[in-house]
Amino acid sequence: MKTFISSSLYPNTSIKEAITNCQKNFGNKIEISAPHKYQNIEELKKIFKIYKEKKIEFLLHNYFPSPKKDFVLNISTSNKYILKKSINLVNKAINFSNFIDSKIYGIHAGYFSDSYADKKGNFVFENKNIGYIKSLENSINFIYKIIQNSRKKNVKILIENLFPFNNEVRSLFCTFDQINDLMKELPDDVGLLLDLGHLQISCNFFKLDKNKEFDKILNMFSDRIYEIHVSENNAINDSHTVINENSWQIKALKRVKGATTQDHSERKICLEVRNESVTSIKKCINLLDNI
């Protein structure tokens, strides 16, 4: 198992620059994630075709390929305009995943409110809150709207667990119970992208034991976990720092290693870090590769 590096390490760059830096510093496994400068699909295909010939393995994550006019992807929105844009983006991501020979594509679970991104990239949520039940219902309906395309393209949809923002509950899919609420209503071929850093924040916020929460997720959904995101934080803010050998996430990864996926494909591990040195990231990747 080799670790993927997230291209979000190089934000607001062109996709070519981000891929070049990731490959030069960290190898041939790269997860493409926002934010990157807009390019149309045909331009992107030409770029990725070159890198595919160099045997680089790609995954796509959430907000990519990005649209010309930015918005915040929200699979639980009640806003028809945002819903249409979200479905369009996700279907393009599914189609592009097929083009780059990726069998999985992970998206964020939904939010109770729509939002926009400020100049620093932070989400600013509307005051209007549609609540947990309606958000859950909308997310279920969203997945059923795109599932046929994902099956046709042979790209498995993964839902990523989220966490409370700024000490406010703004999203679905934060705890085991919330994950179970959504997953039990979706087809078995919809998978889980388990973000261990997000789980750490959620458990701290809801006063839950992270080891017990992880155990419950693993016991119920181990065969549906097709990807894991790894990054350290202070259990309050999603700071995306490197982990060390003493992190509980290392122990979690060792436990999930023995569990097979439904289709027996290799589970992907992605290091999702920001503002870290190349040296510290290489050390972290080496730690993960040697689990």
Copy the structure tokens of residue 246: 């003493």
Query: In this predicted model, which residue has the larger pLDDT, 123 or 29?
Result: 29
Q: Is the pLDDT of residue 46 over 90?
A: yes
Q: What is the torsional sign of CA 18, 171, 240, 118? A: positive
Q: Is the pLDDT of residue 32 over 80?
A: yes
Distance CA 202, CA 162 (A): 8
**Average pLDDT for the chain:** 96
Q: Is the pLDDT of residue 167 over 90?
A: no
Its pTM stands at 0.96
187 in Cβ contact with 153 (< 8 Å): no
Distance CA 140, CA 137 (A): 5
Residue partners of 192: CB distance under 8 A and separation at least 6: 158, 159, 160, 161, 179, 183, 217, 221, 224, 225, 226
Enumerate domains of the chain plus CATH numbers.
4-289 (3.20.20.150)
Strand partners, 227: 193, 268
| pLDDT tens digits for range 16-27 | 999 999 999 999
The model's confidence at residue 1, banded by pLDDT at 50, 70 and 90, is low
**Residue 96 burial (CB count, 10 A):** 22
The model's confidence at residue 207, banded by pLDDT at 50, 70 and 90, is very high
Distance CA 253, CA 230 (A): 9
Angle between helices 196-205 and 210-221 (to 10 degrees): 130
Peptide bond into 11 cis (omega under 30): no
Q: Is the pLDDT of residue 122 over 90?
A: no
Q: Is the pLDDT of residue 33 over 90?
A: yes
Q: Mean per-residue pLDDT for 49-61?
A: 96
- Which letter does DSSP use for residue 59 in this model? E
